[in-house]
């Protein structure tokens, strides 16, 4: 049975006074205005970078090209920002064109390169042979990093094999570094049926890796050499410069070559 109705207290007052409500409305309006300005400035900045990429044109690649190799390519990440892939694929200097690209996909157990999705799609549409790489974080689980990479990248026939970018020791022991890196490599190979490629530089390979990774195809960085990288083991790709120029990309780009002819190149692609 309902009790008697309670009378309003004469001393009761609204939760917010009229003046307080006005201040809240003004604060909300200013917040929305600030957010709109920040978003607009960000979108304008990104649009400007995109326009610069669309119109970026260079008379040549800007570096000494190792012309005794027949298959040339680049590697990119968010640092190249927006890329006009048709301009990249159509550039030709003295008979040399860029036919492949390695694209940064992931890092660690949670980071995805913000340009990966666009680069992965647009590079293939432009006729480039594409590959995806994972930047390894030595202090995190190799298995979990592999799973993160596999969740992010959808490979297709004609793509390059998966790549592990291993260039930081991160303060861990050499034994732990090798163990976790091998776990990444074996996890990805079991999941895809494709043996990954290992990327590193000459000094890092000699100091930390050595014979433990000799069974993996090597993409090695060794800049400004005239004919080939100075490493005793065999290699498949050579990153020979980090200051190349190419149409469709505003800033400097890493340049690479494949160690073989077109028949050998087709053999390493995902069937």
Catalytic residues: 75, 167
Q: How many CB atoms lie within 10 A of CB 152?
A: 17
What's the gap between Cα 204 and its chain centre? 21
For CA atoms 40, 42, 46, 52, give the dihedral sign: positive
CA angle 167, 261, 133 (to 5 degrees): 25
**Two structure tokens written together for 206:** 């000699």
C-alpha span between 104 and 134 (Å, rounded): 6
Tokens of 10: 């004469």
Q: Encoding tokens for residue 84?
A: 């006009």
Give the span between the Cα atoms of 250 and 43, in whole angstroms: 18
Give one DSSP letter per residue of 131-160, joined into a string.
Answer: EEEEE--TTS-HHHHHHHHHHH----TTPP
The answer for residues whose C-beta is within 8 angstroms of residue 29's C-beta and 6 or more apart is none
Residues with Cβ within 8 Å of 54's Cβ and at least 6 positions away in sequence, in order, are 84, 87, 248
Q: Are 51 and 84 in contact (CB under 8 A)?
A: no
Write out the two tokens for 240: 């020979």
């Amino acid at each position: 049975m309902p009790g008697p109705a309670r009378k309003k207290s004469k001393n009761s007052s609204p939760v917010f006074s009229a003046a307080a409500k006005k201040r809240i409305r003004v604060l909300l309006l200013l917040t929305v205005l600030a957010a709109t300005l920040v978003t607009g400035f960000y979108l304008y900045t990104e649009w400007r970078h995109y326009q610069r990429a669309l119109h970026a044109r260079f008379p040549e690649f800007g570096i000494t090209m190792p012309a005794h190799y027949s298959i040339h390519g680049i590697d990119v990440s968010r640092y190249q920002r927006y890329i006009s892939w048709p301009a990249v694929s159509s550039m030709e200097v003295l008979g040399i064109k860029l036919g492949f690209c390695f694209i940064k996909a992931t890092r660690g157990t949670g980071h995805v390169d913000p340009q990966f999705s666009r680069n992965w799609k647009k590079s293939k549409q432009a006729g480039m042979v594409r590959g995806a790489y994972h930047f390894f974080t030595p202090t995190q689980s190799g298995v979990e990093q592999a799973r993160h990479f596999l969740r992010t990248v959808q490979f297709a026939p004609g793509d390059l094999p998966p790549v592990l970018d291993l260039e930081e020791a991160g303060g861990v022991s050499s034994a732990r570094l090798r163990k976790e890196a091998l776990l990444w490599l074996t996890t990805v190979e079991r999941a895809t049926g494709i043996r990954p490629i290992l990327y590193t530089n000459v000094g890092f390979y000699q100091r930390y890796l050595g014979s433990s990774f000799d069974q993996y195809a090597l993409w090695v960085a060794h800049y400004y050499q005239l004919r080939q990288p100075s490493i005793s083991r065999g290699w498949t790709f050579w990153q020979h410069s980090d200051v190349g120029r190419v149409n469709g990309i505003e800033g400097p780009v890493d340049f690479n070559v494949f160690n073989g002819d077109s028949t050998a190149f087709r053999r390493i692609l995902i069937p």
